[in-house]
Amino acid sequence: MKLFFTIIILSFLQAGTGTDNKRNLLCHRWREVGMKNFSENYKAVDKSMAEIIRFKQDGTYDKDLYGSLHFKGQWLFSNDSSRIALRITEINGRVLPGNDSFNNEHATDSIIKLTQDTLIIGQLKYFGPGKKYGHDDVYYLSEE
C-alpha cells in the first residue's frame, strides 16, 4: 500500500503543476498555419505571410511577421492558465512607451488548444455594430 502511494506522489511531482506543464508546452517556436475569423471558415495562411513566434520561459517572446517586422514582448497566463496575454514592448528595435502595468487581468485571449505540436489561440473581441462577442482563432504548429 505504501508503495502505491509513493508511486502516486512521485507521478504528481514529475507532472508538476498545470501552469508549469502549459508553460513547457508553450515555450518554443511556433509557425502560424491558419486563421478562423469570427463567423467564417478556417483559411490556411501562406507560409511567406505566416507569423513566427517564440515564447520563452522568462515570460518574454519574439515574433516575426512578413519577414520584415520583428516584435518583442511579454506574455503571461491567467491565474488558472486557461487564457493568455501578449504585450508588445518593441517593434524593429524601437521600444514602445507605456508598458508599465501588465498582470493576469490582461490575460483575456483563450487558449483553445495547447499540445506539443499544436497551439490555437482565440483572440476575444466584439464584432460589428451590434458588438457581438466572439473570437478569431489563430492556428499554429510547432517548429521544434
Return the pLDDT at 10. 38
Return the pLDDT at 19. 66
141's CB contacts (< 8 A; 6+ apart) are 30, 31, 33, 117, 118, 119
Return the pLDDT at 3. 40
Q: Higher-confidence residue: 1 or 113?
A: 113
Taking the C-alpha atoms of 134, 136, 141 and 143 in order, what is their torsion angle to the nearest 10 degrees? Answer: -120
Q: What is the pLDDT of residues 24-76, one digit of tens each?
A: 999 999 999 999 988 889 999 999 899 999 999 999 999 999 888 999 999 99
Contact 114, 22 (CB under 8 A): yes
Dist. CA 103–CA 75, nearest whole Å: 9
How confident is the model over 10-30, as a mean pLDDT? Answer: 70
Residue 1's identity, in one-letter code, is M
Contact 38, 135 (CB under 8 A): yes
| pTM for the structure as a whole | 0.79
Average pLDDT, the chain: 84
Q: Is the pLDDT of residue 8 over 60?
A: no
Q: 141 has which bridge partners?
A: 31, 118
Return the pLDDT at 16. 42
